[in-house]
Amino acid sequence: MLMLLTQVVWAEIYQYVDAKGHVYFTDHPLKGNYKLKSVTGKPRPTILLSARNSAQNRKRFSSMITAAARSLNLRPELLHAVVRAESSYDPRAVSRSGAVGLMQLMPGTAQRYGVSAQGRWDPEQNLKAGAHYLHDLLREFKFDLHLALAAYNAGENAVKKYGNKIPPYPETQRYVKKVLSFYNQSVVSRS
């Protein structure tokens, strides 16, 4: 079943509070702990993904996902599992925290991998940066897939804070299980 909604998209407004309590707003966050506060602009219709659209988008982006994975020696099934958990293959997905696209890139992560604010919306750039981030997390956590996925969801500092264990955040714990379940399903189905 498809549902048509009106989504407001054009300008993202970020808030930063410095050490002295001064509040700053910008549409181009720099380094620091910026938080997405609002998205403003002209409303445009957005179609929510149905299961059929998700399957169509999986097929549409499959070669791109495979190329991004193989360029970093990642299993394509793993990248598919992350994309499925993050966005259900919707390149227009936006999270409450301001992550966007197939791999749900945050502004800081995108910037870290040379992707502009607008580039986060480009499926190919989004996939390449997200795959590179996942690859770096795997290396950082000595190829422990559970920890790398937890870090992808909650941030590497959260994993380190809890002694290189999955943080006790229910969302992160569910996320790791979900991605692993999707990954295992795809590996078994290919066997």
Q: Which positions are annotated as active-site residues?
A: 86
Work out the angle at residue 109's Cα, subtended by the Cα atoms of residues 171 and 54, and round it to the nearest 5 degrees.
60
By CB neighbour count within 10 A (0-12 exposed, 13-18 middle, 19+ buried), where does 103 fall?
buried
Roughly how many angstroms between the first and final C-alpha of the chain, as a whole number? 32
DSSP structure class, residue 90: -
CA nearest 153: which of 78, 97, 77?
Answer: 97
The runs of H, that is alpha helices, within the chain are: 51-71, 76-87, 107-112, 123-140, 145-154, 156-161, 170-190
